[in-house]
């Protein structure tokens, strides 16, 4: 124990100036990843491992008459070939949707009950029907191609609105008209009355195009089985090991302790890797039967078939306004395309998330949602960055810009007139949520200033001189983040002098290690560089709700703050004993426990070491370690204002995004550099969906965008410099005041880009164009408008 409080306190203060909350500290993992030293699932191997290949249907819809595996079984290196019959005998439970979503009549949604391998019918191109395991991947592939699947083709349907029509091909006998969920939210009678009394109603038909996830790292898995313990282990990329272990164990009818999930570096997910998939069940089964590890790695071409996809809605949206342009009610009706199966949270982005987010940051008093979630002969739907938030914001902001044009009101004026005001916080929204904070007018004003909105007409004239069209748009958004949930905050002072934080969120590209360490260092004064993060082993992460819905910094941040308080409480007890003082006289600040009014103190790291080395009497903690679960941390409400500026070549339809500004309220920003990276990624995905990305099928259900030769992704040259600024109003619902940021780039960027293009095309009288705004679609819209004018 040393009496050098002043010098150590100074060191701690300097460290906090370098690594404290709010500072752009470099990500801990970047050096490893940039140098190619990261380890992803396919980098792992086990002695004696075999390789799996999945046999998939080439038909979008059909009856399975037989599967001939005789030739495949006889091929060199083949260890086994299995069909759905064998896996059904294993007694696995089907994949279902666990969300308590109900139809408008109160009945639960109709489950599809997907099994790992199909035995009776195939329902989309890529449906898994068998799998092969062999000594090498090449042998498994060759044998997979020798499996003969006899399928009687059936008519297919790929559009939700077509699938719900009488006489359409039926995917399931127990799901009439292919409608698995007829969802309703809101008081329809009051909404109808508001529309009846409105001075003006704006109406739009909107297609929210289907998106392929295309994560950098394809899905992969390495499974093994220990006969002695009857325990499975699987290395697989996830968004949270604890929750995914529970899902996997449930499907296998096992207790969670019989399954271990390991996740290393993850090359992107965006919601797609957070569910159980047939391939994992197959290789776990084979690992037990063969008594050796089995590995499977997807290829890009089959990723387009087997990975869950996103968005996929056809909507009729309406906004009712009074004579002054004040919003009276908003309603959306339409269809959501679930694909062939319902798993994970699939219906949620199409229904409940729309209801939560549609009111946005406006004083819209009434909301009504009517969505039919329909099954089609396409790849199954899942969460995709934002999972309903960008969709809802897209509908609302499209309505606002159109209403402004129809009523002759400046779109900025219309937004200002309907913003919720700071003095009205907390505000009960029509979605049933209570917004706790926000300054939406301040966000708009700052975004207009940074984007140089006032001088747009000068830039437009310059573009016109070069034969180009120029457009600008402002897009506001407010998101309701992930539902309230608890989180693990385990803090362990290790013998080597490090401090390990264990939590149930999981970093799949966000950079958790650095901001979490910043928060923990600020709370306890432990050295930033001594903090390590454990998220990747379900044996160690006993509880957690994973990463998703922009929850990580709020959920784990809350867990860190609460756990740190427990560490301090234990530390005061221990320090009081070691320094022979009353516990009430012990104070804690900047990593040191001090006897009040004296210079006698002990550093937290030294205290942890003393406790490890000594034997404490009864009533005195033997360590500073804490293993704590938070209670439910409420949803938060990140919001912002984005400004996009585009330039269009009218002769080719090519769009260039020339300026983009994003001003956001994420509450307390722990690490602005990481937040900026999240914004850049979200805006890039917004550009992708708005301008080029779309999953498409032909009339027979065959995918025609099944590779990167046919499916366009934005490249570096498509992404502009993004001007980012903050206008924070800390949340009141969590101790750090954070609001989440991971999906906001999509929420604000998508609609802002589309509205900017429509602004540029407005001189031709063009008011509608479907995403993606490809050069062909833009060129055709201009050509058709010119023809009508002539």
Quote the CA–CA distance of 438 and 422 in Å, as a whole number: 6
Query: Of 9-13, 61-65, 247-251, which range is least confident?
Result: 9-13
Q: How many other CB atoms are there within 10 angstroms of residue 617's CB atom?
A: 7
- Residue pair 169/154 in contact (Cβ under 8 Å)? The answer is yes
Quote the CA–CA distance of 644 and 175 in Å, as a whole number: 43
429-467 tens-digit pLDDT: 999 999 999 999 999 999 999 999 999 999 999 999 999
Per-residue model confidence (pLDDT) at position 9: 52
- Residue pair 102/340 in contact (Cβ under 8 Å)? The answer is no
Quote the CA–CA distance of 697 and 228 in Å, as a whole number: 48
- Residue pair 366/191 in contact (Cβ under 8 Å)? The answer is yes
Sheet holding 499-502, edge to edge: 531-534, 499-502, 488-493, 626-629
- Residue pair 553/736 in contact (Cβ under 8 Å)? The answer is yes
- Say if residue 544's pLDDT is above 70: yes
Backbone angles phi and psi of 173, in degrees to 5: -65, -30
- Say if residue 379's pLDDT is above 60: yes
- Say if residue 528's pLDDT is above 80: yes
Quote the CA–CA distance of 746 and 389 in Å, as a whole number: 9
Per-residue model confidence (pLDDT) at position 15: 60
Mean predicted lDDT score pLDDT of the chain: 95
- Average pLDDT (382-398) is 96
- For the stretch 773-789, what's the b/e string if a residue is b when 16 or more beta carbons lie within 10 angstroms of its beta carbon? bbeeebbebbeebeeee
Q: What is the largest CA-CA distance in the chain?
A: 95
- Average pLDDT (21-46) is 94
Question: In sequence order, which residues have a C-beta less than 8 Å from that of residue 55 and are 6 or more positions away?
Answer: 128, 129, 130, 131, 132, 144, 147, 149
745-784 tens-digit pLDDT: 999 999 999 999 999 999 999 999 999 999 999 999 999 9
| pTM metric for this prediction | 0.95
Quote the CA–CA distance of 7 and 12 in Å, as a whole number: 9
SS3 label, residue 674: helix
Per-residue model confidence (pLDDT) at position 769: 93
- Residue pair 174/109 in contact (Cβ under 8 Å)? The answer is no
Q: How many other CB atoms are there within 10 angstroms of residue 711's CB atom?
A: 21
Q: What angle do CA 449, 450, 453 make, to 5 degrees?
A: 55
SS3 label, residue 588: strand
Backbone angles phi and psi of 261, in degrees to 5: -110, 130
């Amino acid at each position: 124990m040393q009496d050098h409080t002043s010098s150590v306190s100074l060191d701690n203060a300097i460290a906090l100036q370098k690594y404290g909350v709010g500072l752009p500290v470099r990500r801990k993992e970047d050096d490893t990843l940039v140098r190619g030293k990261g380890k992803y699932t396919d980098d792992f191997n086990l002695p004696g491992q075999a390789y799996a290949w999945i046999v998939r249907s080439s038909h979008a819809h059909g009856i399975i008459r037989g599967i001939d595996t005789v030739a495949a079984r006889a091929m060199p290196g083949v260890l086994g070939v299995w069909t759905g019959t064998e896996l059904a005998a294993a007694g696995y439970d089907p994949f279902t949707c666990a969300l308590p979503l109900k139809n408008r009549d109160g009945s639960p949604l109709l489950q599809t009950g997907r099994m790992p391998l199909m035995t009776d019918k195939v329902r989309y191109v890529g449906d898994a029907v068998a799998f092969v395991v062999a000594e090498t991947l090449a042998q498994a592939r060759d044998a997979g191609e020798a499996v003969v699947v006899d399928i009687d083709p059936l008519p297919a349907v790929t559009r939700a609105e077509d699938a719900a029509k009488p006489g359409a091909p039926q995917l399931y006998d127990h799901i009439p008209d292919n409608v698995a969920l007829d969802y309703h939210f809101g008081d329809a009678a009051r909404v109808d009355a508001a529309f009846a009394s409105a001075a003006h109603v704006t109406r739009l038909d909107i297609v929210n195009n289907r998106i392929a996830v295309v994560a950098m790292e394809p899905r992969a898995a390495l499974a093994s089985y220990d006969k002695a313990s009857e325990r499975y282990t699987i290395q697989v990329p996830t968004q949270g090991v604890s929750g995914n272990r529970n899902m996997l164990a449930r499907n296998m009818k096992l207790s969670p302790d019989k399954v271990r999930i390991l996740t290393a570096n993850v090359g992107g997910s965006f919601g797609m890797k957070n569910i159980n998939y047939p391939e994992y069940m197959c290789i776990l089964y084979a690992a037990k039967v063969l008594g050796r590890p089995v590995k499977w790695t997807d290829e890009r071409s089959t990723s387009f078939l087997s990975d869950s996809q996103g968005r996929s809605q056809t909507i009729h949206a309406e906004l009712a306004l009074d004579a002054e342009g004040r919003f009276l009610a908003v309603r959306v009706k339409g269809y959501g395309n679930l694909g062939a199966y319902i798993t994970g949270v699939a219906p949620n982005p199409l229904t409940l998330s729309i209801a939560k987010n549609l009111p946005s940051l406006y004083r819209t008093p009434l909301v009504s949602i009517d969505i039919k979630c329909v099954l089609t002969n396409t790849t199954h739907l899942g969460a995709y960055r934002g999972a309903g938030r960008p969709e809802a914001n897209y509908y609302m902001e499209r309505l606002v810009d159109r209403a402004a044009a129809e009523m002759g009101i400046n779109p900025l004026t219309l937004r200002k007139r309907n913003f919720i005001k700071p003095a009205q916080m907390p505000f009960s929204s029509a979605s049933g949520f209570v917004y706790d904070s926000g300054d939406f007018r301040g966000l708009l004003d700052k975004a207009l200033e940074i984007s140089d909105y006032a001088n747009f007409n000068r830039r437009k004239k310059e573009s016109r001189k070069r034969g180009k069209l120029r457009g600008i748009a402002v897009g506001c958004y407010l998101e309701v983040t992930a539902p309230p949930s608890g989180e693990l905050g385990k803090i362990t002072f290790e013998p080597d002098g490090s401090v390990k934080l264990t939590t149930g969120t999981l970093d799949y590209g966000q950079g958790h290690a650095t901001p979490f360490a910043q928060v923990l260092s600020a709370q306890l004064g432990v050295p930033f560089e001594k903090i390590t993060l454990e998220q990747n082993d379900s044996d160690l992460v006993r509880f957690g709700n994973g990463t998703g819905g922009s929850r990580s910094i709020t959920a784990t941040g809350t867990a860190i703050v609460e756990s740190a308080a427990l560490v301090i409480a234990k530390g005061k007890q221990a320090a009081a004993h070691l320094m022979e003082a009353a516990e009430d006289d012990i104070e804690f600040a900047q990593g040191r426990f001090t006897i009040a009014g004296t210079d006698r103190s002990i550093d937290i790291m030294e205290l942890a070491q003393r406790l490890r080395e000594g034997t404490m009497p009864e009533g005195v903690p033997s360590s500073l370690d804490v293993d704590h679960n938070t209670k439910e941390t409420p949803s938060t409400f990140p919001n912002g204002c984005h400004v996009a500026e585009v330039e269009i070549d009218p002769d080719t339809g090519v769009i260039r995004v020339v300026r983009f500004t994003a001003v956001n309220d994420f509450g307390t920003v722990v690490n602005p550099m990481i937040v900026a990276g999240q914004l850049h990624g979200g805006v890039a995905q917004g550009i992708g969906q708005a301008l080029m990305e779309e999953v498409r099928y032909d009339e027979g259900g065959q995918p025609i965008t099944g590779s990167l030769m046919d499916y366009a992704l934005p490249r570096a040259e498509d992404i502009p410099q993004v001007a980012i600024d903050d206008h924070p109003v800390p949340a009141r619902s969590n101790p750090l005041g954070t609001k989440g940021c991971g999906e906001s780039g999509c929420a604000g960027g998508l609609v802002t880009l589309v509205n900017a293009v429509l602004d540029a095309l407005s001189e031709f009288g063009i008011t509608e164009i479907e995403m993606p705004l490809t050069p062909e679609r833009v060129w055709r819209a201009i050509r058709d408008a010119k023809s009508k004018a002539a």
